[in-house]
Amino acid sequence: MIRFAEELNDIQLEAVRHFGGPLLVLAGAGSGKTRVITYKIAHLVLENGLRPWEILAVTFTNKAAGEMRERVEELLGPEAREVWLGTFHSIGLRLLRRHADLTTRTANFVVYDDDDRKRLLDRVIKSLNIAKDTLTVRSAAYWIDQQQHALRGPTHAQLPTETYKDRLCARVYEGYEKAKVQADAFDFGDLIGQTVKLLEKHAPLLSEYQYRWRYILVDEFQDTDHAQYRLIKLLAGEKANVCVVGDDDQSIYRWRGAEVGNILGFPNDFPGRTVQTVSLEQNYRSTSNILKAASGLISANTQRHKKELWTQKDAGEKVRMVQSDTEVGEARWVINQALKRHREGTPLREIAVFYRTHAQSRHFEDALRIESLPYVVVGGMKFYERKEVKDILSYLRLAHNPKDDVALMRIINEPPRGIGQTTIKRAAVLATDEECSLYNGMLRLVETPDGKRARKPVARFQRLMDQLRQQAVDGADVFRVAEAVLAETGYVKRLQDEGTMEAQSRKENVEELMVSIQNWAERAEDRSLAAFLDHVSLLTSLDENRDKSDDAMMLMSVHAAKGLEFDSVFVTGLEEQVFPHFNSSDDPEALEEERRLAYVAITRGRERVTISWARSRQRFGRLDFNPPSRFLREIPKEACVNEMEDRFQAHTGNRGGWAAASNASRAPKSTPAKSWTRVSSERELDFEDNQSAGGAGGGVGAQVSHPSFGMGTIKKLDGDGPNARVTVHFKTVGTKKIVARFLQFVE
């Protein structure tokens, strides 16, 4: 027997007992929303007299649906299995499969995954004679996604056609829909959009399901897009017995179509019906100081339902706010603190590091390897295993060893260069017959009649690899070879032309790889391509071993952290242009979503939250010097404590810390490495103007700081300007040769 009044708090009980008409449950982070949903299903059956099959419960992930079903079965027993409970897409699939005769597909239709979809789009684009440099498959797929989220079909009058790209995409969209019909297939987005179309077109069918499902519950309502919300309103009908549970402060998926306006506007979406709103504000997860910090931050958003989380737990530790000199110093300090907490008894799996973009993980992975700590990258691949990173590394591998067939197969058409599969297959046969590498087999094939059509693209590829290989043979610095790869292949330009958020993320990873190579070259005695490839191969083998650990530290983007919780969390990279992301600079709605992201990050912590940022961050050949994030100023001072990180930075006096955020307007945003200037007690290294002895300017004897090696003294200068080679004696690692632009002059 369920004792509802004893097992729920007063507000939860109010939400569970409500029956008749629309209900909005604003469930703050850690407030027990899943408990409310599952107990409400039980209450509908046991107290309101509904039969289990008259209830529809919808969520977003199979994992969430599985956990919810388990909890309902614990309350109701076997009859809980009759509740229609699943994801939006699984419900849509069931309806489309049942009523396929009312669609343009058969009951045996297939559902295309992302890879199938891209292959079909590629075929459509080719059939329309659209050049790949004009419209990529990824770009077209992203554009079509946006139309599907908004329920705009290929002939819809509201399709955007303002630009030439829009008009091309509209043509592709139309061809893509026709091709799916011919293939008897739906894609993932169709499972919602085509279900809505089915119900809107066939009124008797809609009435059947409106009568069948007397009550509808929606979990994570803040993540719904236009199509999903339209489906719910159709099924709810005039009786509108629908309960939506969500938190507008945790709406963070606008990039995949989620509309925070759905939950913000819900109270006004049912004319003639009273919409009840219940706010779950008691938090069962975090300490009082963590909640104060999170609540103070999110209160700066204007588009939100007003609420404030509270807890009966102790105040706990204040949120720590720590500034580091560089992103390397930030990573080392964070991992050092995590190790300290682990030694004090916190399991590694209860310690998480959050970052805004996946590219930021590299420094944390490096620091974890130094400490020999196991870790797991959640929601993404390890840095050196990401596609774009492996692509660039494969070019370097093939330049080093032309017999590396695996590397060749990876990059032969990355970016596309017109070497078809038929050519590759024939080259493979020839290589086997003549016992040579695939590369040589391909070169031999194009000299035969069978390879005539591929002669030009193969020749261009050969010239590219010959050029890269010559640099490697001549002993060029690995960074120079990598620069040549990006310049000659057009890899980065292709990502730029795609114009999608995914492409932007991939471009950032390529940039981070270049920074990684440059940093490694500055530390290494042997800066050759061969030495770097050995270095990377050892790192990746270690990664594979550590992934198998039962107790490992968690690294993840903030997006991946949604729905999780940990004893101790580190929220990193709180700088302007990083977090909030630079894409949000001129978009008030995007900026509010960035603030919601930060809110989500902070509320993942149970006992301890640390927020960190770096004064400088290397990015693709330049040193970014962004001011501290505006979000730091929005966190109440009584809930946090400012600490200066000093273990991994040069000791040059007070560098601003949390208070520096108030002076953000005076800090430079992003300055090329050859001319950047330091804030506070450090200034630009002026090697062009002064190379005199005695420590004046940037000359011999001057004190300098390096992001990795700390403080040192200049012993010798070779060359002029920011690319001069500087011999520096460091207290920690001895004498090193460093490029001038990576040093900071200390007064």
Which residues are known catalytic residues? 33-34, 219-220, 250, 604
Note the Cα 641 to chain centre separation in Å: 29
Strand partners, 245: 25
DSSP letters of 324-342?
Answer: EEEHHHHHHHHHHHHHHHH
- Cβ neighbour number for residue 526 with a 10 Å cutoff: 11
Those residues whose C-beta lies under 8 Å from the C-beta of residue 577, and which sit 6 or more positions away, are: 585, 624, 626, 669, 670
HSE toward the beta carbon, residue 583, CA cutoff 13 A: 14
Q: Distance (Å, rounded) from C-alpha 19 to C-alpha 596?
A: 31
Please provide residue 726's backbone torsions phi and psi, each rounded to the nearest 5 degrees: -115, 125
718 in helix, strand or coil?
strand
**Cβ contact 270:22 at 8 Å:** yes
Please provide residue 704's backbone torsions phi and psi, each rounded to the nearest 5 degrees: -130, 165
User: How many residues belong to the chain?
Assistant: 747
**Assigned token pair, 563:** 């729905």
Proportion of the chain in helix, strand, coil states, percent, rounded to 5: 50, 15, 30
**Assigned token pair, 551:** 């107790």
Single-letter code of the amino acid located at 440: N
Checking 639-643 for CB contacts under 8 A at 24+ apart, the result is 639/289, 639/290, 639/292, 639/293, 639/296, 639/318, 639/319, 640/289, 640/293, 640/318, 640/319, 640/320, 640/321, 640/611, 641/318, 641/319, 641/320, 641/321, 642/321, 642/322, 643/320, 643/321, 643/322
Cis peptide bond N-terminal to 415, omega within 30: yes
Pairing of strands 319-326, 640-644: parallel
Q: Distance (Å, rounded) from C-alpha 698 to C-alpha 694?
A: 10
Instruction: For residue 305, count CB atoms less than 10 angstroms from its CB and return exposed for 0-12, middle for 13-18, buried for 19 or more.
Output: middle
Buried b / exposed e across 39-65, counting CB within 10 Å, b at 16+?
Answer: bbbbbbbeeeebebebbbbbbbeeeeb
Query: Which residue intervals of 474-553 are DSSP H helices?
Result: 478-489, 491-498, 501-523, 529-546
**Cβ contact 505:357 at 8 Å:** yes
509 in helix, strand or coil?
helix
569 in helix, strand or coil?
strand
Those residues whose C-beta lies under 8 Å from the C-beta of residue 321, and which sit 6 or more positions away, are: 610, 611, 612, 632, 635, 640, 641, 642, 643, 657, 658
Those residues whose C-beta lies under 8 Å from the C-beta of residue 392, and which sit 6 or more positions away, are: 482, 485, 486, 491, 510, 513
Tally of helices (H runs) and strands (E runs) in the chain: 26, 23
Pairing of strands 682-683, 744-746: antiparallel
Note the Cα 454 to chain centre separation in Å: 38
Q: Cα 282–284–289 angle (5° rounding)?
A: 80
Q: Distance (Å, rounded) from C-alpha 637 to C-alpha 362?
A: 31
Q: Cα 116–154–254 angle (5° rounding)?
A: 70
Q: Distance (Å, rounded) from C-alpha 55 to C-alpha 37?
A: 12
**Assigned token pair, 88:** 């939006």
